[in-house]
Amino acid sequence: MALVPSRSDSEALIPEVEMNAGADQTATTARVTVVQASSVFYDTPATLDKAEKLVAEAAGYGSQLVLFPEVFVGGYPHGSTFGLVVGNRTAKGKEDFQKYHASAIDVPGPEVSRLSALAGKYKVFLVIGVVERAGYTLYNTVLSFDPLGKYLGKHRKVMPTALERVFWGFGDGSTIPVYDTPIGKMGALICWENRMPLLRTAMYAKGIEIYCAPTVDCMPTWLSSMTHIALEGGCFVLSACQFCRRKNYPPPPEYTFCGLEEEPSPESVVCSGGSVIISPLGTVLAGPNYESEALLTADLDLGEIVRAKFDFDVVGHYSRPEVLSLVVKSDPKPAVSFISAAGRDDDYVQT
């Protein structure tokens, strides 16, 4: 099944249904939806309202899992430098970061509780990108929830890309989860983390079957990367990308797009999507869509995983651990650890 609505921003999402999809009634299947949409930048409550509407629509199609793009809650700061040049930061850039910090969410926190309730209300697995605020450091994070409204856990991006390293911290090996669910083992890596072979291998070793890849990479080459991962991992790959226009961001001078010869027009596309769903045998089941905000839905035949692994099991019969092996350090790496001698209190006392 493929739902790929093409619409103007003012039109409702109307599904186009491919009726012959999922025709094999003997196979165990899961219906999944990938959301391609823009955040409401600097307005987290409005973004959460938008997320609920989109989840409700996906649930109306019978979807059991709904995937949102990278940092959907909190937003991706396209075109911003936060006033950074080598050796200096501008006052305006610091003000921009203050606003961005205010748009982020605490984990746990009230926004996480709302997302939990949303997943429970519509009875879906919800996987959604957020900007996580941990004190004064921000992280590019994916949160996962089950259909009972339970918060399952998070993954923090371990390697922010390029200038992202200015405003996002680095995750560690303690947040690379794969969740065993009734519709398959699922987990997520973010954007160009998916180009890190060792990190992908860690996910394969955990038995991932539904591989979520929220992103803001809208380049045509992304489809090749996602297809390779599906074939390499013998898993379904779901990639959700934002579709953003200039008008989805505050107007200048509050928000400016740097590195361009002129300010984009309000209708200019700054991230063109490309969301896609791919089978373990490399078949594109839905997408890619580069036209508009959209919902892409497919029925996954979970039996296809076994058929793909018969050909190639990268951490099983097609591995050579006596020649090549991987060690993953999965313990947390805090900046400071307080260790007390037995029977003695820490010097730090919270009042």
8 A C-beta contact, residue 300 and residue 286: no
Instruction: Output the average pLDDT for the chain.
Output: 89
Our separate counts of H helices and E strands in the chain read 7, 16
Count CB neighbours of 181 within 10 A.
Answer: 18
pLDDT of residue 8: 45
What is the share, in percent, of the chain residues with pLDDT greater than 70? Answer: 89
Domain annotation covers residue 260? yes
User: Is 70 assigned a catalytic role?
Assistant: yes
| Interatomic CA distance for residues 188 and 194, integer angstroms | 9
Query: Quick check: 42 pLDDT over 80?
Result: yes
316 domain-assigned: no
Neighbouring residues of 187: CB distance < 8 A, sequence distance ≥ 6: 155, 176, 177, 178, 179, 203, 206, 208, 210, 211, 212
Does 317 fall in a domain? no
Q: Which of 69-78, 161-170, 221-230 has the lowest mean pLDDT?
A: 161-170
Confidence of residue 350 (pLDDT cuts 50, 70, 90): low
265 DSSP 8-state letter = P
Can you give the residue range of the structural domain that contains 108? Answer: 29-311
* Contacts for 23-27: CB closer than 8 Å, 24+ residues apart: 24/301, 27/301, 27/302, 27/303
Task: Give the residue from 293, 171, 178 showing the smallest Cα distance to 244.
Answer: 293
pLDDT tens digits for 79-105?
Answer: 888 888 888 889 998 999 999 999 999
Counting the structural domains of the chain, the total is 1
- Please indicate, yes or no, if residue 342 is contained in any of the structural domains: no
Closest-CA residue to 99 (of 242, 227, 254, 239): 254
- Determine contact, residues 303/26, Cβ cutoff 8 Å: no
Average of pLDDT values for 296-312? 95
How far, in Å, are 60, 113, 177, 313 from residue 207 at the CA level?
Answer: 30, 29, 11, 10
* Options 11, 57, 70, 111, the catalytic residue: 70
Please report, for the domain that includes residue 39, its CATH number.
3.60.110.10
Is 269 inside a domain boundary?
A: yes
Residue 280 belongs to a domain? yes
Residue with tokens 């949303």: 118
Sign of CA pseudo-dihedral 199, 132, 295, 28: positive
Structure confidence by residue, pLDDT tens digits, 49-78: 999 999 999 999 999 999 999 999 999 998
What is the model's pTM? 0.86
pLDDT of residue 345: 52
The reply to whether 183 falls in a domain is: yes
Is the pLDDT assigned to residue 30 strictly greater than 90? yes
Burial class (CB in 10 A: 0-12, 13-18, 19+), 322: exposed
**Confidence label for 343 from pLDDT (cuts 50, 70 and 90):** low
**φ, ψ of residue 324 in degrees (nearest 5):** -130, 125
> What pLDDT score does 82 carry?
85
Domain assignment of residue 19, yes or no: no
